[in-house]
Amino acid sequence: GEDVEQSLFLSVREGDSSVINCTYTDSSSTYLYWYKQEPGAGLQLLTYIFSNMDMKQDQRLTVLLNKKDKHLSLRIADTQTGDSAIYFCAETFSGGYNKLIFGAGTRLAVHP
């Protein structure tokens, strides 16, 4: 079946690294995505990784993919208060088009 799981909360100190984890079930997903949602706002695409990659780095963001364990993580270096938001992991539906299956979201709180 299709299921994406994330831990619900993460609290970090400003300047530290944040690591948000996600597990998914559909091994035939081609792309996996990370979206950010600030309060009352829509979803902002942060980054995505193709399923044949292990790692992708984009400035302060590092995505790690362990396809064997179906585990995806997002690392935010030097976390800032502006990074406080809900982070959603999403996998693509394997049925031939790009329907997204979302996790419930991880609420990241950054404190001084």
Partner 1 sequence: NAGVMQNPRHLVRRRGQEARLRCSPMKGHSHVYWYRQLPEEGLKFMVYLQKENIIDESGMPKERFSAEFPKEGPSILRIQQVVRGDSAAYFCASSPTSGGRSTDTQYFGPGTRLTVL
Which residues sit at the interface with partner 1, rule CB under 8 A? 4, 30-31, 33, 35, 40-45, 48, 50, 88, 92-93, 95-105
CB of 105 to partner 1, least distance (A): 5
Phi and psi dihedrals of 17, rounded to 5? Answer: -90, 145
CB of 48 to partner 1, least distance (A): 6
Torsion of CA 82, 85, 89, 95, to 10 degrees: -110
Nearer to partner 1 (CB atom), residue 80 or residue 98: 98
